[in-house]
Amino acid sequence: MKPKTVLQASISATVLIAVCCATPILAMTLTALGLGALVGYLDYVLLPALAVMIVFSIISYQRYRRYCCHRDR
């Protein structure tokens, strides 16, 4: 997989998880689906997922930069 594709995917996933953490969209969706009891546990899942995706985005950015710099030479 190309480094640019990995970078775009990781940034997209990070933004998606950040939106779910910051807004009650996911809570309203789960409540509408009848899964409102799971809303209390979202912080246990979303915050570690956000941290993992931020780390993954940083790593993929570093790989992308290394790929671009070596390709130009």
Look up the domain containing 58 and give its range.
Answer: 3-72
Question: How many domains does the chain contain in total?
Answer: 1
Average pLDDT over residues 19-33: 82
- The tens digit of pLDDT for each residue in 7-19 reads 899 999 999 888 8
- Is pTM beyond 0.85? Reply is no
CA distance 11 to 25: 20
